[in-house]
Amino acid sequence: MNKQKALLPITTLAMTFSFAVWAVFSPLASTFQEMYGLTSTQKSILVAIPVLLGSIMRLPLGIWTDRIGGRRLFSLLLLFLIVPLIGAGFADSYAMLMFWAFFIGMAGTSFAISVTFVSRLTPPEKQGTALGINAMGNFGTAVASFSIPSIAAAFGVSWAFWGMIIPIVIMLILVWFFTPDMPKPKQQKTMRESLSVLKYKHTWTLSLFYFVTFGAFVAFGIYLPSLLVDLYGLTPVDAGMRAAGFTVLATLARPVGGNLGDKIGAERVLTFVYAGMTIGALVIAFWMENIWVMTAACLLLAVMSGLGNGAVFKLVPQLFPAETGAVTGLVGAWGGLGGFFPPILMGIIKDVTGSYVLGFMLLSLFTLICFLLNRIVFGKKAGEPANRYAS
């Protein structure tokens, strides 16, 4: 097998199952709420807690991927995930679920490893498309949404966790034996040198952009099942299937965003993305009681967030060709954190106000800020190569 050709499909599939593990608690949240008598806030924290470690650790793992190679680090990650999956299957209390959920969060770092791995071995003119395809591993959250409730109903909640060990082991074998080693960097950077990207304004601009686009993708992916059950009284299986539709659409839109970034410029793509997300969030805020309007608005947000995720990561290697791993880790971390806070905030808002309206109003405000910032930072120079103003 040609390992270079196998790189993209294997890393994409490995990230898919890693993301399925990352989102494994989401479709089970309502079940655990009934089992342990949880409040909306407690349920939201359980759903969000895996996102925390998976977000924070993206930065160091992005840097370490540059240092020790994607094949080795991805294999180590997959091996590690087996432990918390076993533990979560044996958990018999809310506290133990929280404990194992935290470590299952490491699955989210697969994004930083995979993107760095692929970008380092892909020609610059093809990176937008390749990274868009690779990031279709986000589809793993949909895999969790439509498979986990059915597995839990058929075999019990414990097997929802233990069953995920099988594909993780298969991907461990494929990554270790059938992907190439990354070329060693000409100069080994210290951690301090790698973190020097923090001084660039575009590092923080891209972090905010991804905080909103990927944050919306993750937040909807993990909280939409609970939201649909709460709002419309759907069964967990039905809600999971509907939430999976959101994830599938957003995931399919991501490579389109990367490809459009290659062709017309990521800055232009992001202009349409944030305008669309602002409208979609406002529609949900005022008409969420209508399931058809809610569905249409969610699908709009799915497409826009997917396009935005692809466009942002077209800009990362374009602006920072020599520090792709560090910037990927940092931007990816902020994106993950963007998915951590909204579910908790939604739970608190629901407990305090009895409604989700304020939460979606805040989402529309954040997307509007990103729309304006994109126009200010990139709009005047849309006709110039982005890397001319990387500093």
Of the ranges 95-99, 113-117, 220-224, 385-389, which is most confident? 95-99
In the predicted structure, residue 192 carries a pLDDT above the cut 80: no
Compute the distance between CA of residue 101 and CA of residue 45 in angstroms, rounded to an integer.
10
The confidence band for 233, taking pLDDT boundaries of 50, 70 and 90, is confident
At residue 227, the pLDDT reads 85
- Given a cut of 80, is residue 253 above it in pLDDT? yes
More confident residue, 90 or 235: 90
pLDDT for res 390: 45
- Identify the three-state secondary structure at position 210: helix
DSSP 8-state code for residue 183:
P
* 219: nearest Cα among 356, 339, 51, 108: 339
Look at residue 297 in the predicted model and tell me its pLDDT: 93
Per the CB < 8 A criterion, the answer to whether 114 and 134 are in contact is yes
pLDDT of residue 69: 84
367 close to 281: Cβ distance less than 8 angstroms? yes
Pick the closest to residue 266 from 132, 110, 136 (CA basis).
132
The mean of the pLDDT values for the chain is: 84
CB 62 within 8 A of CB 332: yes
Report how far residue 15's alpha carbon sits from residue 13's, in angstroms, rounded to the nearest whole number: 5
Tokens of 305: 């967030």
pLDDT at 372 over 60: yes
Kindly report which listed range (59-73, 75-89, 113-127, 375-389) carries the lowest average pLDDT score: 375-389
Buried-state track 57-75, b at ≥16 Cβ within 10 A, e below 16: bbbbbbbbbbbebbbbbbb
Question: How long, in residues, is the chain?
Answer: 391
pLDDT for 387 equals 47
pLDDT on residue 195: 64
Predicted confidence at residue 322, as pLDDT, reads 65
Least confident of 34-48, 257-271, 303-317, 377-391: 377-391
Angle between helices 357-377 and 266-287 (to 10 degrees): 160
19, 8, 14: which is closest to 251 by C-alpha? Answer: 19
pLDDT digits (tens, 9 = 90+) for 95-137: 999 999 999 999 988 988 888 888 778 777 677 678 778 877 8
At 62 the pLDDT is 78
Give the domains, in start order, of the chain with CATH numbers.
1-180 (1.20.1250.20), 190-380 (1.20.1250.20)
Top-confidence residue, 341 or 86: 86
DSSP code of residue 164 = T
Q: Tell me: the pLDDT tens digits for 136-174? A: 787 888 888 878 988 998 899 999 999 999 999 999 999
Per residue in 27-46, pLDDT tens? 888 888 888 888 878 888 88
